Every structure is written in C-alpha cells, then in structure tokens.
A and B are shown apart, each in its own frame.
Chain A
Amino acid sequence: MYMNKRLIEGKNAIITGCARGIGKSIVEVLASNGANIWACARTKSTDFENYLQDLSKKHNVTIKAIYFDLSNKEEMKNAVKQIIADKNNIDILVNNAGITYNSLFQMSTQNKIDEVMNVNFTAPFLFTQYIVKLMLKRNMGSIINISSSAALDGNAGRAVYGASKAALLCATKALAAELGDQGIRANVIAPGITETDMLESMTEDVIRETVMNTDLKRSGKPTDIANAVLYLASDLSSYVTGQVLRVDGGM
C-alpha cells in the first residue's frame, strides 16, 4: 500500500556527498520514496556502485553515480555536463557534501579556513548556480542545503565550520528570495549532533555532553535528517521556502 503512494514518485534528484553518513541515508530515503537519483561522490568505488545498483533494483528507480571533487572546478563542470547529457528534468538538489573542522578561533589557520569555506560554501554555491540554471528552464525545483546547528549557535571550537555553514544558510535564504516567484524553493536543514563519521573528530566526553544537552537525550540518526530532506524535497512543503529547519532533538 505504501509503495503505490510514494511521496516523490518519478522526481529526479541530485544529491552530493552520497558515499556515507547523512548523504547515503538521503539517497536511501529519496529512492524508497520513488525518486531517480544522480548520486554524487568524490571517489569512484565498486562498493558504492554495487550499493546504488541494489538500491535502484529494490525501489525500482534509476540511480546514477557521478564523481567529482567539490574543490575542483573542472571536475564539477564535467559532472554538470554528465547530468545535462541525461536530458532529464531536475526537480530536487540536495547539497549535503561537506567537511568538518574543529579548532579554537585562535588556532585556526588560514589554509584550513580557505579549505573549509571552499568545500562547505563556495563549492555548493557554484554547483547550485549550474543546477538552478537548469531548473529555471521549467520554473520548478526544490533545493535543500545541509547546514548545521553550529551555524546558528556558534559553538566553541566551531568558528570556521560554523561560519562556513552560516554562509551557506544565508545564501540559501537569498536564493529563496530571488527565485520564489520562479517556482524554485530553497530551504536549509540544520542537523544537531548526528551519528556520522564526522563525530570521530570529537572526543567521547564532548559527544556525551552534547547528547545530554538535547531534549530528546539521544543523537540524531542519518535517517532523521534524510526524512526532513524528504519533507522539504516533496510537495509536503510546497508553500515553505527560505526556512531553516533544525533537526537537532531540541538543543
């Protein structure tokens, strides 16, 4: 019964950062809800390809792997070309790929600042420019950018990471303001502490403390975030744009 009432049946979605963590879960949730997907990742891997193939069979959707390094403009351009060559409409873009960086304000180096800003802000900004151009051909589309609660709260040790995610958040609001009358919605998800590899950069004490600071007293699962992406990607949110949705268990 569930299968014949999928929320984004036949829609086409681009998702970045699909190899693991939240991105992997977004691919699963969107595929299980009927979307065809260009699943972007940095490095080619057979495991990843096999995984996508199994998923596409299971949910009867098309999933294509696209490889590019976010910090390499040429690779990004090629990726966009591959997507264009498929001659399919693009309904959904999820900018999920990102890197984490923990460092005290005074200890943050310029190299790291540049790298984090580039991967978490400049790259998704440029990538979105390409994709929005394609979406504008049909005046239709939903863009979901994965920011962070750190962008809103300004946590100790998260000056650079938080700033990069705050930049993305602001750009999303501006994008929503510019393109709302052209049928394109843009929203932000701000995950709190989520069970991904990124947690490996934090000590166990910090993780425990952060979890205890949530009202729900647990960390988020990648599917928690992916389900919020589904809401913003689908027509469930057709009158919602320029919003920031915290998926953080109440922090």
Chain B
Amino acid sequence: MILNSKNAIITGCVQGIGKATLEEFANNGANIWACALEYNAEFETYCKKLAEKNNIWIKPIYFNLLNQDEIKAGLKQISNDKLPIDILVNIAGITKDAITHMVTMDQMKFIFEINFFSQIYLTQFVTKLMIRQGYGSVVNTSSISAIDGNYGQLSYSSSKAALIGATKTLSKELASKGIRVNAIAPGVISTEMNRIVPDSIIQENIKKMKIKRLGKVDEVAKTILFLASDLSNYITGQIIRIDGGIK
C-alpha cells in the first residue's frame, strides 16, 4: 500500500492512462479526486465500486480544461474539502496529428490550451495549497515525442515539450517548499489515443523498441505511482521515459 491514506488529484480519469492510474492509486490506498470532462453515470458507478473495494474514497470532479471558470469551480470543490492534497497527477490531454504545413493556428492554440495552459492554471492553484501544507508531489504527463520529435505531431510534441520546461522550472521553484515535480514521457502505449494510428506505423514503431511490444496503460500508471509516492522522495525535476527503449 504505497500510497496509504494519501490524497491525490488525477485528471483525465475516464479512460487510458488516467483510468489505469486511478485504479493503481486506489489499489495502493490513496483517496482520490477523480477529474473528468463531464458528468458520466457509468464513471460514477465505477468510482464508487473501486472505492468500496479498496476502502478509500473517490470523488468525481468534472470540468472542461478549455474553460478556466470550470477548472476553478472544480478546484474549489476540492479545496472546500479542506483536506491535505499530497499528490497532483496531470494526465488529461489531447492529440491531433497533422504535418506541419497543414496545422492551423487555431488547432495549435487548441492543443496548447488543453495540453499546456490549462495544466499550468490547474497546477498553480493546487501547488498554492501544497505550499501552505509544506509538501506535495506533482507528476506531469509529457511524451517521448516532446523529447525526440515525431512526424505529424508539431502541436502535440511542442505542447508536451512546454510541459517539460514547466516541470523543471516548477521543481526548482517549489523544492524549498517541500514539493517535488517530475514528469513521465510515455512511448507508444496501447490507448484510445493510439487506436487511430495505422497498424503499419505501429509495427514500424515496435521495430524501433528494445521491448518488442506496445506499452500498457498500467505500466505507465506504475511509474506515476513511483513518482507520486515516498519511494521517490529524493527525485525531482526528472523526466522518466516509459518507452520500451524506443530509438
């Protein structure tokens, strides 16, 4: 029970890496504010069952990352609980692939709004509370395409690279307040997001990996668990690649 009785905020909990992280955290004893885009009855039931099974609480919180007022209202709900916030995991994100000259500025801004600006806004709010309590661990979800670049991913890779810069700066600014900030850089993971990628490209990617298969969402969640927990107490400002050794 690595996260026994810690309280965590996780965004993007309905599917993919977010859902796997929600499960992993719940199984390891954390209480969770599970953030998602909009009210979803199925999700509510799912959270309730997961909480009962693990003898913890999970509160669904809904907001659209494109809407600052909604983010603020969601975060107010969390701060009104007046509980310590040990962990913030930013997972919610979006991709829209297009080669460079086909990317419109509106698309670019849209991607940045969700993958970068909204995450900063949210993190500012939450780390302010963390500073007050004097501790906390923030985990951001970047991507290997932020580090390596990737064909067709101008907006996605740039937005995720911006997140790395923010992670490193935040880690420096917040370390003295007892807050650690790290990021993960997943490689090609079997998620909804990758379902639209043609099989030929997936096969090409696998050829470049040392571990010859796609990553699983729970494998990403387990590294998030490590970075969120006290196991990584002396680790800050780091980017961990979970990529099967892709080159």
The size bracket of the interface on B is 35 or more
Question: Does B235 make an interface contact (CB < 8 A)?
Answer: yes
Q: In the complex, which of the residues A177, A230, A241 contacts B231, with contact meaning CB atoms closer than 8 Å?
A: A230
Contact B234 A239 (CB under 8 A): no
Q: Interface-forming stretch among B108-116, B121-129, B237-245? A: B237-245
CA of A242 to CA of B215, assembled, Å: 15
Q: Identify the interface centre among A2, A192, A248, A250: most chain B CB within 10 Å of its CB.
A: A250
Question: Does B118 make an interface contact (CB < 8 A)?
Answer: no
Contact B236 A215 (CB under 8 A): yes
Interface SS majority for chain A: mixed
Contact B245 A242 (CB under 8 A): yes
Contact A240 B234 (CB under 8 A): no
Q: In the complex, which of the residues B172, B236, B238 contacts A245, with contact meaning CB atoms closer than 8 Å?
A: B238
Enumerate A227-243 residues with CB–CB distance to B below 8 Å. 227-228, 230-231, 235-243
CA of A1 to CA of B241, assembled, Å: 31
Nearest CB to that of B27 among chain A residues? A5
Contact A215 B210 (CB under 8 A): no
Question: Does A249 make an interface contact (CB < 8 A)?
Answer: yes
Question: Does B171 make an interface contact (CB < 8 A)?
Answer: yes
Q: In the complex, which of the residues B211, B231, B237, B244 contacts A231, with contact meaning CB atoms closer than 8 Å?
A: B231
Contact B245 A247 (CB under 8 A): no
**Closest Cβ of chain B: how far from A175's Cβ, in Å?**
10
Q: Interface-forming stretch among A84-92, A120-128, A216-224? A: A216-224
**Closest Cβ of chain B: how far from A69's Cβ, in Å?**
31
Contact A247 B209 (CB under 8 A): no
Query: B residues touching A (Cβ–Cβ < 8 Å)?
Result: 1, 4, 171-172, 175-176, 180, 187, 209-212, 215-216, 219-220, 222-223, 225-226, 230-238, 240-245, 247
A/B interface sample: 8 pairs, CB < 8 A: A176-B210, A180-B210, A180-B211, A180-B245, A217-B176, A230-B231, A236-B222, A243-B240
Q: What 6 pairs across the A-B complex have the smallest Cβ distances?
A: A180-B210, A215-B175, A224-B234, A239-B219, A227-B231, A236-B222
